[in-house]
Chain A
Amino acid sequence: MEKRKPFNILRSVLFALVIREVRGRFGVNRLGAFWFLFEPLAHILVLLTIFTLVRGQTHYGPPLPMFLVTGIIPFLLFKNIALKGMEAVSANKALFAYRQIRPFDTIIARVIVECALMTCIYIAINFVLGFWGGFDVAIHYPLKWFGVFLTGIVFSTGLALIFCVIAETMPDLKGFIKILFMPLYFMSCVIVPLWIIPPHVREWLWWNPFLHLVDGAREATFLYYPDVSGVSLEYAATVAVITFFLGTLLYRYKREQLQAI
């Protein structure tokens, strides 16, 4: 067996894991491939229908469907990375018998799969909204948009690392962590616009980095978007870097335990 460079090993392991991950979710039959895309799509469509019918257009801000899509997609992406990443290690435990595969690889593979999946869905939904809905679906500040998503991905990957160490040492907490993301859904202003939240409540919401990320994504997408002072990408980026650092630290410390079958 020839010696390979660490980078080459990492690349081939990630490639193999990504394919395996997608195959695994496709399931046995072809319907699986359809569900793979349709499941998150359905999630978004149902929310979109409910809230468009219930809430109706407000007088202020971007059109409602666009407003919801630009909030739900990043939130769902970050949430999936954090929660699916948390499960990545325990779900792939048997694979660590192959010594090239490290727990970290399984998490990164899931991050890649989630990003690819959400990109497809973002394009599909915006295609429908733009083509048949006649909405302006362009991303008006692409650089900022990439910055926001990169920050969010780093943040949620850091969370995934922390969560997977927690899940390894205290498996009972997994359910609790999953439930935590439900209130976050509302506290991140995914559905309700930030500007209708009373200022004294906002004071508390500012602590939530997802709020800054979701609103940042909207600011980057729309040409005109109501500016609420207090939204700070710097804050989100700082939290992201700290979280990622903590995550890698914890992972490094618990690496052997995570890997042991």
Chain B
Amino acid sequence: MIELRAVSKSYRTPRGRKYVFRDLSFVIPEGRNVAIIGRNGAGKSTLMRLLGGQDSPDSGRIVTKNSISWPVGLSGGFQGSMTGRQNVKFVARVHGAQGERMAQVVQYVADFAELGEYFDEPVNTYSSGMRGRLGFGLSMAFDFDYYLVDEAMSVGDASFKKKATAEFKKKTNRANIILVTHGMTQVRSLCDIVLLLHNGQVKQFDNVEEGIEAYTLL
């Protein structure tokens, strides 16, 4: 369960303060896969950043006992001059993996990302698809209660996409995902409730089809 209590978030622009959310309160219920949809600029990514802890609200609190992942597939944190393996080890260390567990994480990512020899080459030399695969594999190597997915799973080629979706399905037995997307097929296949963001307010739909319909009518 993730609870937002009177969350406000604004950004300073050259033409004064712009509020994205004002006193936003809602609850993401336990054990549900959530899709966050809305038009461009509705605040989906801001909500994602708040949930992921990359940004903090001006006022209000986000309360949860669950662990929430970093945005799945994040590859901005890679140090270019370090190899894929070293970058994976860095993140594993930050998450307290040592010895056995560390080897396990590295092995998992190496298998999942299918980088072959490139796993021991500097990340600088990777194509953007390879970076994305490494980032995706890294997110999957840790067991979170919630996975934040921002338009991801568009990483890599067709076979990798298939593999990624399959892995997600497997994860959803134990964990849940929070998905931000414009692709309604993904919403239908992965999520069971829909949060529709519009004008700084959130509308919750327990029926996915109803949510999608409300979205298309906007």
Contact of B56 with A259 in the complex, beta carbons under 8 Å: yes
Stretch at the interface among B30-38, B69-77, B111-119, B197-205: B69-77
Binary contact track B50-91/A, C-beta < 8 Å → 1, others 0: 001111100000000001001100101101011000100011
Contact of B53 with A20 in the complex, beta carbons under 8 Å: no
Interface size, B (range): 20 to 34
A143 part of interface (Cβ distance < 8 Å)? no
Binary contact track A75-115/B, C-beta < 8 Å → 1, others 0: 00000000000000000001111111100000000000000
How far apart are the CA atoms of A101 and B70 in the complex, in Å? 12
How far apart are the CA atoms of A259 and B49 in the complex, in Å? 12
Please tell me which one of the listed residues B56, B70, B94, B142 contacts residue A260 in the complex, with CB atoms under 8 A apart: B56
Query: Which residues of the partner chain B approach A261 to less than 8 Å between Cβ atoms?
Result: 49, 54-55
Query: Which residues of the partner chain B approach A259 to less than 8 Å between Cβ atoms?
Result: 54-56
Query: Which residues of the partner chain B approach A97 to less than 8 Å between Cβ atoms?
Result: 52, 54, 70-71, 74, 76-77
A15 part of interface (Cβ distance < 8 Å)? yes
A58 part of interface (Cβ distance < 8 Å)? no
A9 part of interface (Cβ distance < 8 Å)? yes
How far apart are the CA atoms of A95 and B54 in the complex, in Å? 10
How far apart are the CA atoms of A239 and B143 in the complex, in Å? 47
Please tell me which one of the listed residues B53, B90, B122 contacts residue A16 in the complex, with CB atoms under 8 A apart: B90
Q: Which residue of chain A has its CB nearest to the CB of B68?
A: A99
A227 part of interface (Cβ distance < 8 Å)? no
Stretch at the interface among A22-30, A37-45, A175-183: A22-30
**Secondary structure of the A contact surface, majority rule:** helix
How far apart are the CA atoms of A259 and B95 in the complex, in Å? 18
Please tell me which one of the listed residues B52, B81, B124 contacts residue A99 in the complex, with CB atoms under 8 A apart: B52
Binary contact track B94-108/A, C-beta < 8 Å → 1, others 0: 111000000000000
A-B CB contacts (within 8 Å), total count: 70
Interface positions of B from 119 to 139, Cβ below 8 Å from A: 122, 124
How far apart are the CA atoms of A260 and B50 in the complex, in Å? 10
Once A19-B90, A261-B55 are accepted as A-B contacts, the answer to whether A98 and B77 lie under 8 Å apart by CB is yes
Contact of A256 with B81 in the complex, beta carbons under 8 Å: no
Please tell me which one of the listed residues B55, B67, B76, B81 contacts residue A23 in the complex, with CB atoms under 8 A apart: B81
Q: Which residue of chain B has its CB nearest to the CB of A100?
A: B94
Contact of A15 with B93 in the complex, beta carbons under 8 Å: yes
Query: Which residues of the partner chain B approach A27 to less than 8 Å between Cβ atoms?
Result: 81
A74 shortest CB reach to chain B, Å: 30
How far apart are the CA atoms of A15 and B90 in the complex, in Å? 9
Q: Which residue of chain B has its CB nearest to the CB of A20?
A: B90
Contact of B70 with A98 in the complex, beta carbons under 8 Å: yes
Contact of B79 with A20 in the complex, beta carbons under 8 Å: yes
How far apart are the CA atoms of A13 and B71 in the complex, in Å? 19
B66 shortest CB reach to chain A, Å: 9
Q: Which residue of chain A has its CB nearest to the CB of B67?
A: A1
A141 shortest CB reach to chain B, Å: 39
B26 part of interface (Cβ distance < 8 Å)? no
Binding site for A on B (CB under 8 A): 49, 52-56, 67, 70-71, 74, 76-77, 79, 81-82, 86, 90-91, 93-96, 122, 124, 142-145
Known: A94-B76, A97-B74, A256-B55. 4 other contacts (CB 8 A): A1-B145, A12-B93, A23-B82, A261-B54
